[in-house]
Amino acid sequence: MITKFTIGRRHSGDTWNVAELVNNVKWVTDLNFAAGTFTFDLLFDSSFYPQNGDVVEFQWDEQKIFYGYIFKATFKDKKFSITAYDKMRYLKNEDSIVWPVSTISQRFETACKMAEISHKVVNSSDYKLPAEVADAKTYFDMLKTGIDATQKATKQMYYLFANYDVVELRKAPYNNLDIIIGDQSLLTNYSFEKSIDDAANSIRIVKKNSSKSQQTTSTSADEEPSGDDPGSTSFSYTDVKAHDVQDWGKLQVVENAKDKANDAQMKERADALLKEKNREIYTLNLDCLGDTALIAGNSVNIQISELSKAGFWISNTAIMKATHSFGSDYTCNLEMKVNEPWLESNS
């Protein structure tokens, strides 16, 4: 049950207890570099009205669940529909930074200080990221670049999570829960999908060769030449393919070679890209009874007999996105990508 639900002005100190005025309360956590989202409907009360920027605090069964700020309020039929975000929303701020050689832990601390949000490094990394220039990018984008590079080098994924009013840098999975979701425990419904929509089994690395032509062509004064000259442009290719072309058909992606890359470097990049993209993506969606521990970044045990009988043996896997619906019936919807590389490396 709701044990705290307040809305307060940031600086005046005025606070209103709205626990008896709310319904349709939902809380979403997502590993995909998105702020935690908290939505609810608020019955109109003439004693106050919510404003953008107001502080929202929510506790369920005495557990601190959400601390954030109102970013949108729609009024219709004597009620407000409110959208609030946790402090990670301020990592959408844009900036320009020259990053020195540094770890993702150091970059996380710098970005949070620049965004002026409380933060904590729960799990640190020693891997040194190369110096780089980030020009007019969000802090989310900057940190994603560093997290992706750290994962590629160390096989360990880091992620961001708002632990109530403190944004944390954590390793995934953060907490291997003893909770079992399955036929006899919590599960109410599920769906399973395997897809090759984003897969590739043929990789082509392309190098563009251009030579300056001595021949000029006549154009009108207001006509600008566009694109490369077909008469002086050619391409050289490095191709790699996987054996499953015969099963899936040819699914090709093309990447331009880096400047001055030689044949061996192009082949190395093609092999790496094939390894990354030549796989099915499995997606498991679970509907279950609610538990506040079921949040993005934690892992749970799966026991669904129908899946096993169909040839899919899924045991322990992590939560990529969690939607909690609080009310008389407290439920969760969980999205799991069961063959993500960082899950394989931690199973």
How far CA 187 is from CA of 182, 193, 254, 339, in Å, comes to: 5, 17, 42, 21
**Do 238 and 337 fall within a single domain?**
no
The span from the CA of 267 to the CA of 240, in Å, is: 8
Determine, yes or no, domain membership for 223: no
Determine, yes or no, domain membership for 222: no
- Pairing state between β 299-303 and 321-326: unpaired
Average pLDDT over the chain reads: 91
Categorize the per-residue pLDDT at 129 as very low, low, confident or very high, splitting at 50, 70 and 90. Answer: very high
**Do 106 and 80 fall within a single domain?**
no
The span from the CA of 134 to the CA of 140, in Å, is: 11
Q: For the whole prediction, is pTM greater than 0.95?
A: no
The span from the CA of 118 to the CA of 103, in Å, is: 19
Give the model's pLDDT for residue 224. 55
Determine, yes or no, domain membership for 147: yes
**Do 81 and 7 fall within a single domain?**
yes
Give the model's pLDDT for residue 339. 66
Instruction: Give the up-direction half-sphere exposure of residue 69: CA atoms within 13 A in the CB hemisphere.
Output: 14
Determine, yes or no, domain membership for 21: yes
**Residue pLDDT, tens place only, 133-149:** 999 999 999 999 999 99
What is the extent of the structural domain holding 6?
2-86
**Do 132 and 238 fall within a single domain?**
no
Determine, yes or no, domain membership for 109: yes
**Mean pLDDT for the stretch of residues 303-325:** 89
Residue 166: CATH number of its domain = 3.55.50.10
**Do 31 and 159 fall within a single domain?**
no
Most confident of 91-95, 150-154, 256-260, 279-283: 91-95
Sign of CA dihedral 20, 26, 31, 33: negative
Categorize the per-residue pLDDT at 215 as very low, low, confident or very high, splitting at 50, 70 and 90. Answer: very low
**Do 263 and 322 fall within a single domain?**
no
**Do 273 and 208 fall within a single domain?**
yes
**Do 308 and 186 fall within a single domain?**
yes
